[in-house]
Amino acid sequence: MNNRQGSSGQWRRLRPWLTVYVAAIVVVAVVAGFVWTVVVRLPSYTIDSTYRAVILESGLSQIGATDVYYTLVGLVAGLVIGVTAWVLFRRVGWPVTLLAVAGGALAGLITRGVGEFIGARDFEKRIAQAARGDSVVVDFTSHTWVPLAVWAGGAVLPVLVGSFVRRRGWIAHVPATTPGGAGEAPGEPVE
């Protein structure tokens, strides 16, 4: 019972920091969504004289570039989220890993939503209304959910590095420092 109260008390103390963390995730994700829409150059279909929509082969390869840029933006944003998680929650222990992974995935979802909201959409409607000689850009969207793994992996990377670099009390033996023989408390980190 006592351990349970201590655990709930710890999470109660962390609630304001969780709010800060979620706010940081939202800010990073919205900025990443804007960056993603700026760096991607969408290809377009051209309506020829017979009202066929034609796209060059290089344009087809640019469609996949949307996912590549989403992945690269996610790696950088994930690292920022991971560092934030580590700074705020490193003393919590192993749950910081779950917070980082969840934060990276949440940021990836928000960024995808922001990018698709800002970017071009309703391709079918726009191409149906196009006249001869018009260029119609494709929809701004990610075509796969796989890059979310990069968002989560990028977020957990700083946590893994931080946990390896951080000194732990159980690694170094600290001799007794007081005359009564009492030293550091067991399990306490030595800083």
Which pLDDT score, from 0 to 100, does residue 143 have? 87
Is position 190 within any domain? Answer: no
Q: What is the pTM of this model?
A: 0.76
Residue 90 vs residue 77, higher pLDDT: 77
Domain count, the chain: 1
Which pLDDT score, from 0 to 100, does residue 179 have? 56
Mean pLDDT of 106-125: 93
Q: What are the CA-CA distances from residue 13 to residues 5, 17, 89, 93, 150 (Å)?
A: 12, 8, 11, 15, 31
Is position 183 within any domain? Answer: no
pLDDT band at 131 (very low <50, low <70, confident <90, very high): confident
Is position 43 within any domain? Answer: yes
The phi, psi pair for 53, rounded to 5°, reads -90, 120
Q: Which of 126-147 are b and which e, b meaning 16 or more Cβ less than 10 Å from the residue's Cβ? A: bbeebeeeeebbbbbbbeeeeb
Is position 95 within any domain? Answer: yes
Domain housing 131: 14-165
Is position 176 within any domain? Answer: no
